[in-house]
Amino acid sequence: MANKNEKYKIKHFPKQSQPAPGLQNRMSPIPDDGAASYIGHDRLKHKKALITGGDSGIGRAVAIAYAHEGADIVLNYLPEEASDAQEVQGIIESLGQQIKLVPGDLKSESFNQKLVNEAVAFLGDINVLVLVAGKQQAEIDITNLSTQQLTDTYATNVFSLVWLIKAALPHLPPNSSIITTNSIQADQPSSFLVDYAGTKAAIKNMTISLAKQFSNRGIRVNSISPGPIWTPLQISGGQLPENIPNFGQSTPLGRAGQPAELAGAYVFLASDESNYITGESIKVTGGL
C-alpha cells in the first residue's frame, strides 16, 4: 500500500507571494482540495450548509466534501476571490448538488445578516453552519502592528462569528451543527502572529461557551484546530516569506497538511455520527 504521508511530502515549497487574500489557482503547487480523491457515503444527504471562506483552502475542501456527501451549499468568499469560487461552483454542480455563491466581506455586520438571508432564501433552514473564513497577516514587531490590522483581524475572525451565529440562530433547527475553525496558534502561538493567535484562542473558548448555551436547543457547536496547512492564507502574508520553503516540515509527520486532509473532520462534526459531541476541538496538526 502506498505511503499517504509520502504522497503529500514536498521537500521545498517554491518561494512565492500574492497580495491578500490570495488565489488558490495561482499557487505552486496548487493545494489538494479533494475534488478528485474524496469519496462520499451520503453522510450529509439532505443537509443544507452555509460555509464561509469556501473559495479556497480549507473551506473549499469542506464544501467539496460536503457535496460528495450529499449536501447543498451556500458559499461565502471575498469578491476578489471570485475565480476560485466559480471553480468550486462548477465542481459542486458536477456532483449534482445545489450551490449559491454569495460574495461579501464578513467585517460588515450588515453583510452577515444579508448572507444568512440569502442562504435561507436558497436553502430554507440551515442544518450546518461552517465558519472557516479568517484573516492572518504576519508582523514580527508589535510596534508595527497597526490598529487597522488589529481591528480587521478581530472583526473577520471573532466579531463575524458572533454576528453570523446571531443571524443564523432562528434558522438552525434542532440537530443542527455549528463548526468553527480555530488553530494550533490557539495553543502554540507564534511570535509574529500576535493578533491572529489571539483571535484563534478566542474562537476556541467561544466554541465551548456556545456549546453550553445552545445545548438546550439541540444545536451542537464544535471546532477544528488546523496546523500548518498549504493554503493561500500562507503565501499572501500569513507567513513570513522566509518560512515558505520549509513550511510545515517541523511537524512530527515532517510536512505541511493539505486542505483535503481536514475535510473528513468537518464532515464528521456535521454528520449524525457526532451526535454526542459538543464543545470539542479536533486537532488536525500533523502531530503538533
The 10s digit of each residue's pLDDT in 126-161 is: 999 999 999 999 999 999 999 999 999 999 999 999
Q: Which residue from 170, 172, 124 is spatially nearest to 270, judged by alpha carbons?
A: 172
How confident is the model over 261-288, as a mean pLDDT?
97
Q: Residue 1 pLDDT > 70, yes or no?
A: no
What's the pLDDT band for 173 if we cut at 50, 70, 90? Answer: very high
Domain contains 261? yes
Residue 154 is a catalytic residue: no
What is the domain-level CATH number for residue 157? 3.40.50.720
In a domain, 14, yes or no: no
d(CA 85, CA 70): 19
pLDDT attached to residue 51: 98
104: left (phi over 0), alpha (psi -120 to 50) or beta: left
Confidence of residue 5 (pLDDT cuts 50, 70, 90): confident
Q: Distance (Å, rounded) from C-alpha 175 to C-alpha 100?
A: 23
Q: Which among 115, 117, 109, 161 is positioned nearest to 135, based on CA atoms?
A: 161
* Residue 5, domain member (yes or no): no
Is there a contact between 219 and 177 (Cβ–Cβ < 8 Å)? Answer: yes
Q: How much is the mean pLDDT over the chain?
A: 96
Quote the crossing angle between the two packed helices 160-168 and 109-123, to the nearest 10°. Answer: 40
Residue 100 in domain: yes
Structural domains counted in the chain: 1
Within-domain flag for 11: no
Residues 16-37, mean pLDDT to the nearest whole number? 95
- DSSP letter at 1? -
pTM of the model: 0.96
Q: Which residue has the higher pLDDT, 1 or 216?
A: 216
- Asked if pLDDT for residue 3 goes beyond 80, the answer is no
Query: What's the domain range around 90?
Result: 25-284
Percentage of the chain lying above the pLDDT 70 cut: 99
| Position 144 in a domain | yes
d(CA 171, CA 58): 25
Residue 13 domain-assigned (yes or no): no
What pLDDT, on the 0 to 100 scale, is given for residue 4? 72
Q: What is the pLDDT of residues 50-68, one digit of tens each?
A: 999 999 999 999 999 999 9
Residue 11, pLDDT > 90, answer no
User: Is residue 149 domain-resident?
Assistant: yes
Question: How confident is the model over 98-133, as pLDDT tens digits?
Answer: 999 999 999 999 999 999 999 999 999 999 999 999
Cβ burial of 44 (10 Å; 0-12, 13-18, 19+) is: buried
pLDDT at residue 102, as a whole number: 98
| Residues 181-229: tens digit of each pLDDT | 999 999 999 999 999 999 999 999 999 999 999 999 999 999 999 999 9
Q: Which of 154, 196, 266, 276 is catalytic?
A: 196
* Cβ partners under 8 Å of residue 66, min gap 6: 44, 47, 49, 51, 73, 128, 266, 267, 270
